[in-house]
């Protein structure tokens, strides 16, 4: 393991020592199973970040086949790119690191400065996979946690805002259940420097509030747009506004985290 590669066991142990991770979360974040997947998202070395405080923005677009069948590929691409644009126009853009990993594990880019983020286009986003929602949310939240802990351990204050996107309930998870996601989410939310949001794109059958609540996501951070391009883009816009607000300082962050999307 190179000097620049953080040791995940040490990071999670450090988080547990700080009282941030319960035993249930530690079990769900079994590094033997998912360590390589988490490492793939960590990206930029903490020592290469000069900002005095950091905001981690993390997005998990759904790349299941039903997005394409529903005619929503472009809406998801455009929504993701609009988040980049919104964050890029803020005065805080130099303190923001962003990471996008698709729902089936493909890392579009690991944590990097906004200027290095990759825009989604038809070449790098062709949704045709399944819906391992629980498995990949554990990996995603593990990545957020590990990166945040890395900064904390280096004395850099960090806040995070994460968006999970799906147009269906879990179908293909092999390792994790909703309760595993919930254990991690609840630990993170208790620390009050994390926001975890979820967007459920209408599939006419899934109760997304129930799905996401079982995953430990607070109701005020759940978006349930209809399946038109306009509604999906509007939902991304709502998330963008919250992400911009979250980047504006610890005071506005705690206010927005309590208020949810309406706050």
Mean pLDDT in the chain?
Answer: 91
Which among 131, 92, 128 has a CA at the least distance from the CA of 113?
92
Q: How far apart are the first and last CA of the chain?
A: 43
Measured CA to CA, the distance from residue 196 to residue 93 in angstroms comes to 20
Which among 85, 81, 92 has a CA at the least distance from the CA of 122?
81
Q: Residue 32: what pLDDT? A: 67
* Residue located via tokens 């998912």: 34
Residue 156 has pLDDT above 80, yes or no: yes
| Mean predicted confidence (pLDDT) in 47-52 | 91
Residue 93 has pLDDT above 50, yes or no: yes
| Mean predicted confidence (pLDDT) in 53-81 | 96
Four-point Cα dihedral 25, 102, 9, 96, nearest 10? -100
Chain CA centroid to CA 150, Å: 17
Residue-wise DSSP of 244-262: HHHTT-HHHHHHHHHHGGG
Segment 171-197, tens digit of pLDDT: 999 999 999 999 999 999 998 899 999
Residue 165 has pLDDT above 50, yes or no: yes
Contact by Cβ (8 Å): 122, 115: no
> Rounded to 5, what percent of the chain is helix, strand, coil?
50, 15, 35
* Residue located via tokens 């005020």: 220
* Fold held by 8-262: Rossmann fold (3.40.50)
Measured CA to CA, the distance from residue 223 to residue 209 in angstroms comes to 9
Q: Where are the domains of the chain?
A: 8-262
Residue 212 has pLDDT above 90, yes or no: yes
Q: Residue 1: what pLDDT? A: 39
Percent of the chain at pLDDT > 90 equals 75
């Amino acid at each position: 393991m190179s000097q620049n590669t953080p040791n995940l066991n040490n990071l999670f142990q450090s988080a547990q020592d700080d009282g941030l991770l319960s035993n249930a979360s530690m079990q769900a974040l079994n590094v033997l199973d998912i360590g390589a997947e988490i490492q793939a998202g960590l990206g930029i070395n903490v020592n290469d970040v000069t900002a005095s405080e950091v905001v981690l923005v993390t997005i998990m677009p759904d790349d299941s086949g039903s997005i394409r069948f529903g005619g929503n590929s472009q809406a998801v691409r455009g929504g993701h790119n609009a988040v980049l644009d919104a964050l890029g126009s803020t005065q805080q853009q130099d303190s923001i690191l962003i990471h996008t990993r698709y729902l089936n594990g493909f890392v579009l880019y690991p944590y990097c400065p906004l200027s290095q983020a990759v825009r989604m286009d038809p070449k790098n986003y062709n949704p045709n996979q399944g819906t391992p929602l629980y498995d990949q949310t554990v990996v995603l939240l593990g990545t957020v946690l590990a990166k945040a802990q890395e900064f904390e351990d280096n004395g850099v204050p960090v806040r995070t805002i994460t968006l999970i996107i799906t147009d269906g309930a879990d179908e293909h998870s092999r390792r994790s259940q909703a309760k595993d996601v919930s254990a991690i989410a609840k630990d993170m939310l208790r620390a009050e420097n994390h926001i975890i949001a979820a967007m459920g794109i209408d599939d006419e059958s899934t109760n997304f509030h129930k799905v996401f609540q079982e995953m430990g996501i607070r109701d005020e951070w759940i978006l349930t747009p209809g399946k038109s391009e306009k509604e999906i883009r509007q939902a991304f816009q709502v998330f963008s506004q919250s992400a911009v607000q979250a980047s504006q300082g610890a005071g506005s962050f705690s206010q927005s985290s309590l208020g949810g999307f309406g706050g």
